[in-house]
Every structure is written in structure tokens, then in C-alpha cells.
Structure 1
Amino acid sequence: MRLIPLPLLRLALAGLAATLVGVGLARFAYAPLITPMVEQGWFSATQTAWLGAANLLGYLVGALAGAPLARRFGGGRVIRLNLILTTAALAACLWPAPFAWFAFWRGLAGASGAILMVVAVSEALGRTPARHRPAVGAVMFSGIGIGVAFSGMVVPGMAGAHAAMGWATLAGAALLATVLSLRTWSRPARTNGGDEAPKPRWQPRRYGDRTAVLLLAAGYCLVAVGYIPHTVFWVDYLAREVGLGLDRASAYWTLFGLGALIGALLAGAAARRFGFAPALAATLGLMGLATLLPSVWPFGPVLFGSSLFMGATTPGMVVLVSGRLSELCPPGHQARLWGRLTAAFALTQAAAAWAHSMLFTWSGSYRPLLWLGGAALLVAAGLAVRAAWPHRRRTAAR
């Protein structure tokens, strides 16, 4: 933290607030609320699954709309508006209401959260000199882990008494983060000092970069499929299907959040030690195992490792994929391609969420969802290995 100048530290903390509100609270904190809402009669288990799908569908809309809105109205203005909208969407769920009401607000929370993720991250990194971007990025993405950890440690106790108290806790935390960061996003954007002069056009090599980017994009989309069992259904799976109850299941969700707190730092360290391509492939393979094993052996050590590791990969995967992309294209083109990858991820995530919900409706069990997610992650690991081959050949040739 000392290596980041104070103005950039303020910007990084504002970015942290954006990822905390938009992803940590608006999306991931929904998981520990599912069981209380089912047990207290707000919705059936099937309806809560469809509410999760509505949130991810909204995320798709926001991912596609974020960049055009920022170009039209300015990044700072869009970020401020969506911080407020996300907080309002959480507050709108404070009381039992018809399914359509919740679906609308969960969809809006997904859309505004995605806009925050796309625009705030791009805006913050655009104002940051290249030498400070890794540190600023690590601070920003830790907001995701803070939101997950907060939802695991605080929300279950509140929601266990009454689900409305859980929603109120999320809305209050979002309001605090919004108020503290609005001033930073109100300041006019500054350039990064001209330390980068991207070329006007990117001419990829005939074989290598283009193929590797396509394989990277395909693998990243499969990650969207593999994440859904843990990020939406994990707590309810452990609480009701495995039979652990809400308190013990929430403890595993807290482990997920603690993993998310350190995931960005661990991913950065692994990338420095082994390189982005090998670290990405190995991580994806381990993610596949961490998703499949709890469906077969749902006991302590397996659940502990699965929760912690999958939590760590939540921000860690963003670090590894964006870092790998930076190896394959010039920085001036990375933002455009990263936006496309984010939109593709959101599209696949929304489609997969509805597929998972239909699968759960048909089977009445979460285990087939874990099998589907684990298989997708293992295929993604194979694609990551394949994508690294041209890079290794070019490195050896030099």
C-alpha cells in the first residue's frame, strides 16, 4: 500500500467501493440469503434459483451497456448513478413482496453492478500510470472478497432472525460505501501521464495471438458456467441438501469470502512465479476438482478446501485472465478486448444461470449443477493449456 501515491490510493479505494457494492454485495451476498428466504416462506427454492438467474441476466445487460453509457455521459457520472441505483435495489428487497417485484430489483442490481464493474475498473485504471496499475487493481478487486466475507460473517445472523434484516444489512453497507466514494468519482478524470502510446491498430500474428485470444475467451466463458454452483447455490446446497444447517453452511461461505480477500494477491504471486499462462491453466484444473469433489464427498476437509479455493479464484481469475490478455495484445487494445470478454462472460453466465435453474427444477438436486460446473472448468483448463502452446513456441524461438 505504501507504494501507491496517496491520490491513487484514494482512487483505488473508490474502485474498491465500486466492486464491493456492484459485485460483492449486489451479486455474491445473495447466496446466504437463499436459505432464510426459503425457510421463512418468502419464496420456494425454485423461485430463489430463478431470482439468481434474473440477477445474472441483469449483469449481462449492464456489461453490454456500461461502455456506451460511459462514452455518452462520462465515467464518473455513470459510476455515481449506478452506486445509488444498486443501493436502492438492495433496499427495495427489505420486505416480502411478489416474485415479480424481487425479480425486477434483482435484475436491476445485476445491471447496475455490472456497469460498476466495467466502468469503474476501466475509469480507475485509465487514470493510473502503468507502473501502479497492478497495485491499484489488487486493491480494487479486493472489494469483491470483502463483500463476500461480510455477507458470510454478518448477513446469516441477521437473516436467520428475519430475512429483512439481512437485506437491510446489505443495503446499509452499500449506502456507506457509496457515500464514502462519491466525492472521488465527482472529480474530473485525469490522464495517466502519457506513459503509454498505443498503436492505432493491432496486427496480431498470423498464428498465435489471435488463436490464443479466442481460446482464452472460450475458456473464460466456461468459467462463467463453472462459477454458478458456488456463487449462487453453495450455501443452500450445504444447508439443506447436505444437511449442515444455515449456521455451518454460512461458515463455509465465510471461508469463501476469506479466500476472495487474498485471491488477487495469490494470483499475482503465482503469475510472477510461474507466468500467467501456466498459472491460469493450473488454477482452472484445480477449480474443476474443487467443484466436482463436494458432490461426491461432501465432508469437512473437501468442503473447506472447495470453499476457500473457489473464493480465492473469484478475484484471482480476473487477475489471471486480464494479465494473460495483456501478454497477447498491446495495452491500448486491452481495454476494448477486455470489455468484449466481460460481455461474453456475462452472456454465458446469464444463459448458464437459466440452464442451472432449469436443471435444478428438473432434478430437485444441486449435485447435477456441480457436475456441470466442474466439467466446464476442466474443459476450460484444457483450452488454457492449448492457448499457451503458441506462446511457448515463440518464446523458445527467441
Structure 2
Amino acid sequence: MSPNNIRLSLFLCLSMCLGIGILRFSYTALLPSTREAFDWSSSFASLLGSANLLGYLMGAFVAMRLPQNKSMTLYIQIAALAGMFSLMCCAFANFPQAWYIFWRVVSGISGGLLMILSPSVVAQCCDIQDRFKINFIGFSGIGLGVLIATLFLPYLDQISIQTAWLILCGFALIICGCLSLLLQQFKHYLSAQTVQSVPKTPLNALFYSLMIVYACSAFAYIPHSLFWIDYLSHELGLTLFWINFNWILYGVGSALGAFAAYSLARKFGNFTSLKILYSLYILAIFITTLNTSQLLTFASSFFTGMLNPAVVFLTSYTILQLYGLAYKKLWSIATLCFASVQLIGGLSFSALQHFGVTYHQQFILATVVLLLGTLQLAWYTRSDQGQKMKEI
């Protein structure tokens, strides 16, 4: 790889690591210990999860309206710094509830901006033939961020929860510095580039089918992304060691997600790979309801961790490959769909918990929704439509 491509890969990897891996999933990893240390109720902890989803939706909406030029670098730096500051502000107890809600919203906004703007910068600064490999390396940062969040779990009985949050803040500060240095390398390229007006792109049933299943995955992912650690702790009654082990498996799976999608796409093409990944996703969620062996819990942790970044990466790259210049706008739409469904779904699952719906019933609901989304994708790609894409 050329030096520029290495810088782009590192930049995107760090952006995804901070925006999704740390700003989003650190909360899930630290939730049980934070609830206990800060004396939060279950409903308030769930509300904070929804506040983060609301922020993510807001960030995606703002990113869609930002100009596609060198100003993106400034917004990325602001988003990274705001996200880092939100971690620091969540490290201290005894603040009003509105304080934590506000900073979880800020964290979500930062994540939404980084998710859309960073891949857009990469798309403008690299050659077409290099996009697949750069995006594969970059989106692996989601798993890297989840792994960073797991580093504290074996030691949470030895360090304070405040220390864990501040260490995460330290990681985020280092990433902010690296992003600022890397972005300096891209400003000249973005300034010299003539930003063409994006032509109106006709969106066919294939694009809408892709959006439907992507939105369904957002809904199906909620129980694992928001309640998984809580489920293992309070529903299954696992010890801290086994909870940590499950979350570490989740983090390892996340780190391998983009690689799994990359390998499948190289062999089978984008749409066939997406159908394979979504089918595995359905199975990974469903097996949590069986409860016949702890091995199934391990498998669910690993594969749900792997499959979310896998489908995010491959969906993003498929849109980039199909629509080129319209990528930023269409990826913003996809992220808005994902964020909107996650917010609605998060509130829905919280309501279901309030009305006594069990975790197992919630996992079944998630399985059914993703199954329906995958079936409609299989229907619209049953012919040779997927072959109309450029070969990777």
C-alpha cells in the first residue's frame, strides 16, 4: 500500500474505533458496574442508552447536510473532541440525571458524525481500486474499539468505575491527537479537488431492499448492544469471570467482523455475502433463547459481535461501489435509517421490559424482524441483479 493509503486506513480505523467502538460500546461494557456505583435504576440506564441512539440519529442528520469539502476535517476533529469530553463527564457520580443524558446525546452525535464524514473523506482521497482494502481495514476499527472497552472488565472489581471511564477518556484523547495529525495530510488534497455536483441518482428496488434489511439489523441488534451484559448478569446470573469472558468474545468477534465480510465478498460478491452474513446473524440471535448450554451463549457473543461490523462495512462499501459520487448522501440516508430504527427499537424494547416482556421474548422478536428483512433481500437479489455490480 502507498503511504497515502496507509494514512487513510489508519485514519478511518481510528475514527471507527472512537466513534462506534468506544463512544458507543464502552457504555454497554461498563453498564452493570456503573449502575451499581452510581445507583442508577434499570429504567434510567435504559434511557441513557436511548439518549445515545438519539444523538447518533442527530449526528447522522447533521452530517448529511454538511458540505462535501475540506470543512469535513474540522467537523471530524470537533466531533472527536466532544466525544472524548463526553466520556470524561460520565466518569463522575452524583450529578443530576439530565447531566448524563446530555453527555450521552453528545457522545451519540459525535459517533454519527464520525461514521459518515470519515468514510466520505476516504472516498474522496483514494483511488477507486484501493477503496475496498482501505474500507476493510478502516471499519475493523469498530472491533478495535470494542476490544479496548473490554480491557477493563477483568479488573472492575479492583479499580473504581470512575477510573475505567477516565482511562477510556485517555484512549479517546490519544485518538483525537492522531486524527488531527492525519487530517492535516488530507486537507490539501480536499482543497485541490474540484468537488463535482452530485448527479441525481435513480434509486431502484435493490437500494431500498438494502436499506430495509440494514434497518432490520439495527432493530435486531438492540438487545445485544444495550442489554447483553445486563442479561448475562441479572437473567443468567453469571459470575463476573464468565460475563467478562462473553464480552471479550464479543470484542474479538467485532475485531474480526470486517475481515470476515472482506473475505466473503472477495469470494462470493457483495450481495451473496450479505445474505450469508444476515443468515448467520439470525442464527446468532436466536440461539440465545435456547439456554441449553453455555457454549451457545459464547457463540452468540462471538458471532453477534462479528456480524454487526461485518454488515455495516459491507453495506457501506456496496453503496460506495454502486453509487460513487452520491456515496456521502446515500450513506447518510442509510445511517439515518439505521439510527432511526435503533432509537425507535431501543424505546420499544425499554417499553417491553417495563411491561414484563422477558429477554428471551425480546430475542425472538429481534430474530423474526431480521428474518423478514433477510427474506426480502433474498427475494430482490434472487436473479442476477447482484452481478450488475463491478467486480471487486
Please, what TM-score do these two structures have when normalized by structure 1? 0.90
* 1:15 maps onto 2:8 in alignment: no
Q: Who is 2:264 aligned against?
A: 270
Alignment partners' CA distance in 1, 2:171 and 2:353: 31
Q: Who is 1:362 aligned against?
A: 355
Q: Who is 2:175 aligned against?
A: 177
Alignment partners' CA distance in 2, 1:389 and 1:180: 44
Shift of 1:201: 4.1
Alignment partners' CA distance in 2, 1:272 and 1:203: 27
Q: Who is 1:51 aligned against?
A: 48
Shift of 1:170: 1.4
State whether residues 116 and 328 of structure 2, in contact with CA within 8 Å, keep that contact through their aligned partners in structure 1: no
How is 1:117-266 mapped onto 2 (pairs within 5 angstroms)? 117-155=115-153, 157-158=155-156, 161-187=159-185, 188-190=187-189, 200-203=199-202, 210-266=204-260
Alignment partners' CA distance in 1, 2:136 and 2:248: 20
Q: Deviations over 1:244-296 (max 9, x none)?
A: 13331121111111111111111111112122112211221221121122123
Shift of 1:158: 3.6
Any idea what SS the aligned residue of 2:382 has? helix
Q: Deviations over 1:288-308 (max 9, x none)?
A: 121122123263221111111
Q: Who is 1:89 aligned against?
A: 86
Q: Deviations over 1:211-243 (max 9, x none)?
A: 111111111111110111111111111111111
For the structure 1 residues 246 and 31, does the alpha-carbon distance in structure 2 shift closer, same or farther, using more than 3 Å as the test?
A: farther
Alignment partners' CA distance in 1, 2:227 and 2:16: 21
Is the deviation greater in 20-29 or in 238-247? Answer: 238-247
How is 1:315-354 mapped onto 2 (pairs within 5 angstroms)? 315-326=309-320, 329-354=322-347
Any idea what SS the aligned residue of 2:126 has? coil
State whether residues 139 and 258 of structure 2, in contact with CA within 8 Å, keep that contact through their aligned partners in structure 1: yes
Q: Deviations over 1:71-104 (max 9, x none)?
A: 5881110011111000000000111122211111
Shift of 1:153: 2.7
Alignment partners' CA distance in 2, 1:394 and 1:316: 21
User: What is the root-mean-square deviation in Å for CA atoms of aligned residues?
Assistant: 2.4
- Provide structure 2 residue ranges, at least 5 long, that are not aligned to the other structure: none
Shift of 1:46: 1.8
- The amino acid across from 1:170 in the alignment is L
Is the deviation greater in 265-274 or in 153-162? Answer: 153-162
Find runs of 4+ consecutive structure 1 residues off by over 4 angstroms: 70-73, 191-194, 196-199, 392-395
Shift of 1:39: 2.6
Q: Report percent identity of matched pairs.
A: 27
Q: Deviations over 1:351-397 (max 9, x none)?
A: 111111111222164223212211111112112201202434987xx
- The amino acid across from 1:261 in the alignment is A
Aligned residues: 385
For the structure 1 residues 70 and 201, does the alpha-carbon distance in structure 2 shift closer, same or farther, using more than 3 Å as the test?
A: closer
Alignment partners' CA distance in 2, 1:364 and 1:197: 51
Alignment partners' CA distance in 2, 1:241 and 1:134: 41
Alignment partners' CA distance in 2, 1:90 and 1:101: 12
Alignment partners' CA distance in 2, 1:147 and 1:369: 26
